[in-house]
Amino acid sequence: MLPFSTTIVLSLIEYFCVTILHVIYAYGHFSLEETLWSALGFIPILLTILLSRTAKKESVIVRGFYISMLIVSYMISYKLETLGMLIMVYFAGALMIALHSNRKLMLEYSIVSSVIITVMAIFQMETIDKVCPSQLYYIYMILYAFGMVTLVFMTNGIKNYKERMEEKNEEAQNALEAKSNFLANMSHEIRTPMNAICGMAQLLSEEDLGETENEYVETIQKSSEGLLSIINEILDFSKIDSGKMEINEDEYHFNSLIHDVLSIIEFRLRDKSVKLVTDISPNVPRVLIGDELRIRQILINLLNNAVNFTYKGSITLKIRWIQQGVGTGVMEVEVKDTGIGISDENMGKLFKAFGQIDTRKNRNVEGTGLGLAISKNLLELMGGGIWATSVPDYGSTFSFSLPQKVKDNRPSNYVNDHNLIVRQNDEFKISFKAPNARVMIVDDNKVNLQVAFEIMKRFGFEATTIDNGAEAVNRIEEHLITYDIIFMDHMMPFMDGVEATEKIRALDSQYAKEIPIVALTANAIKGVERQFKEAGMNDYLSKPIHVNQLNDILKKWLPLEKQIRVVDGEEMKPVQSAKERTKDEMEEDLIGAVKGVNVENGIRNCGGSRGVYIRILQTFSSSNLSSGLDTYYEAQDWENYEVMAHSIKGACRNIGADVLADKAFKLETAGKQKDIEYIKKNHDSFSDEYKELISCITRAIIDNMTAAKLEGN
């Protein structure tokens, strides 16, 4: 169906043409008076445009058009003595109404126009005869009647069809929503037992088993990882298919990305006589802006394909950087293998969903056939493209180009350290232990609780396990034990993890508001991360739990004083302090040493937490905003100077440096108003005060840390 605006435009264009013909006819056969009279035909057009801008109901606009058109057309035809042809104009108007596909309006128009034509036939036949013989006019009337009946039935049919299509569309939307809900549930239900399988297999692999048993465990691990990979691909494709895939751009280090990808591929090639070759241009910028997760996924998909179909020879990863402007460029990537290649007839199937080619020949190759389709869609979402060339029995080359923004333009100078990658592919070793840590795990599945409990024992503590969200809320509310971190399962009966977290954050205690809560989730559907953050969760850990990911989460959120570094399997015991100060005393000493700020306002700005305020002070002291402000001042880049002054104002306001914040605000305002004289007059003094404040806070932090070390000796 045509949109209403399009219908109106088409109607106005058609009637405009009719009016122009009337004007031309009048100008050629009559005087200027009749010509001007014919110009009245523009009135319905102007009226319709006015109603389109003011009226909210479509029916009002259509009625305004057809009523004014019927009246004005009759007046013009009467003046020009062309009433015999008016029936043609009215039929053209009927077609316009029919385009709108409104049964009621079409019926109204048919009745009103038919009455006018019939009355003309009774009382104005002499005038009609001047242009159209009466017998022909009667034939026109009969045809008009048939035409109106046809249009009424046609409009009625179109309306019914439109209503059915709307119902179908609603059903399709409901089905799409049901599919999304099904995928979310499927993700959770499949990943929950997979968590147990992977976790128990990981724990078994650390036991002193025989050679046969170790092979069994390794098979379980490989099979479970393969199944998880298939689940992830199906979920990714479903998100792309429903238009729910989002691209999240952020800063990432190029070398780190490539190192992670090659680490995975080297591990897969360990049992193959295939060499992995890298040819990476050293001029790729050090820090880029893009969706690192999706770029890693694309690279792994292409390299995994090469691994699957290459049995001897080599796989080459080639990367080039094409600078296109200030802060932008294109990453050109090529993955070349010496595998079995692809025939010409199968090239067209490459980037289609479930498009595994030569399924009988490649039956031993695992996968859904979605990898290349997902990669193609992801690249298009990011503004890139992908293509392939191949020679059967000689190998294939997959290439893609991807525009990226640049954060740090210094060259990455990537060097592939094969030995380092191999070492990192060895069994992961935890980086610290925390025997005094107090950790709570909340999960309704007892197997999941056991897996998490056993894995966390590797870090030297035994976690408290709870099987429902309500009990977790009660534990925090009673505050009998002060936990350092909570791992909260996402989907639980009666009270899920999101609701439990919201209730904990709503408790009237600073402890409840600050305790780190990490979501344990088997739900890979888009949007859950945002849901966790909105509920007050600090982080999330995907199921199945991997020790390296758990290591990073615990290291990030457990108090530093409870962490004991582990180097080459040996615990680095901290020296016990002879005179221990409490945490509160250390915080008070540090805050007391900071001069020139309203500490009470600063703590209030941090939600009343001294701990958060201390961390904000540390961040403030390490900021490099002053040099940025000076740089923009010297370059007379007043637009960026204004932005930098705004940032400094906010930072000063956060820590309670209100006087300095007010001065930054004045500089910011001067930048907006292009008051360069004010900036030049006040910049130096402000810059000195700001640097002095940073120096004061830095000295206080260093003095506090030095005192803590001395007391420990």
Q: CATH code at 674?
A: 1.20.120
pTM above threshold 0.75: no
Domain-embedded: residue 259:
yes
pLDDT in the model for residue 364: 44
Same domain, 543 and 521: yes
Q: How far is CA 195 from CA 22, 189, 449, 541, 543, in A?
A: 79, 10, 10, 12, 6
pLDDT in the model for residue 586: 52
Same domain, 468 and 367: no
Same domain, 493 and 537: yes
Domain-embedded: residue 171:
no
* 487 in Cβ contact with 453 (< 8 Å): no
- Kindly report the CATH number assigned to the domain that includes residue 322: 3.30.565.10
Same domain, 454 and 380: no
Domain-embedded: residue 96:
yes
Which helix (H) or strand (E) segment holds residue 441: the answer is: strand 439-442
Q: CA-CA distance, 564 to 300, in Å (whole number)?
A: 35
Same domain, 493 and 419: no
- Kindly report the CATH number assigned to the domain that includes residue 436: 3.40.50.2300
Same domain, 436 and 548: yes
Backbone φ, ψ for residue 411 (5° rounding):
-65, 140
Domain-embedded: residue 209:
no
Same domain, 28 and 101: yes
Q: CA-CA distance, 37 to 349, in Å (whole number)?
A: 66
Q: DSSP labels for 428-457? A: ---SEE-TT--EEEE-S-HHHHHHHHHHHG
Q: How far is CA 18 from CA 24, 323, 638, in A?
A: 10, 57, 59
Q: Which of 386, 406, 424 is the last residue of a domain?
A: 424
Q: Which of 476, 473, 471, 483 is nearest to 440 (CA)?
A: 483
Indicate the number of domains in the chain: 4
Chain centroid to CA 231: how far?
Answer: 20
pLDDT, block means (10 residues), the chain with 713 residues:
75 84 86 87 90 86 88 88 84 77 82 90 86 85 88 81 82 73 65 72 76 78 68 64 70 83 78 87 90 85 87 92 89 92 78 54 49 84 90 91 90 66 52 88 81 85 89 87 88 84 90 90 60 83 78 87 73 46 53 68 68 75 75 83 84 84 89 89 89 80 58 48
Same domain, 414 and 288: yes
Same domain, 555 and 487: yes
Q: Which of 530, 549, 571 is the last residue of a domain?
A: 571
Domain-embedded: residue 182:
no
* 151 in Cβ contact with 94 (< 8 Å): yes
Range of the domain at 509: 432-571
pLDDT in the model for residue 420: 46
Q: CA-CA distance, 523 to 495, in Å (whole number)?
A: 17
Question: Would you call 542 helix, strand, or coil by DSSP?
Answer: strand
Domain-embedded: residue 296:
yes
Indicate the pairing of strand 250-253 with strand 385-391.
unpaired
Q: CA-CA distance, 126 to 132, in Å (whole number)?
A: 10
Q: Which of 111, 132, 153 is the last residue of a domain?
A: 132
Domain-embedded: residue 143:
no
Q: Which of 86, 8, 84, 7 is nearest to 41 (CA)?
A: 86
Burial zone of 62 (CB within 10 Å; 0-12 exposed, 13-18 middle, 19+ buried): buried
Domain-embedded: residue 10:
yes
Q: Which residues contact 127 (CB under 8 A, 6 or more apart)?
A: 78, 81, 83, 84
Same domain, 12 and 94: yes
For residue 635, what is the DSSP state?
T
Instruction: Write out pLDDT tens, residues 86-141.
Output: 888 888 888 777 776 677 888 888 899 999 999 998 888 888 888 888 888 888 88
Same domain, 412 and 439: no
Instruction: Write out pLDDT tens, residues 286-329.
Output: 889 998 878 888 898 899 889 888 888 999 999 999 998 888 99
Angle between helices 446-456 and 134-205 (to 10 degrees): 50
Q: How far is CA 212 from CA 209, 215, 224, 269, 682, in A?
A: 8, 5, 19, 23, 77
Burial zone of 598 (CB within 10 Å; 0-12 exposed, 13-18 middle, 19+ buried): middle
Same domain, 279 and 377: yes
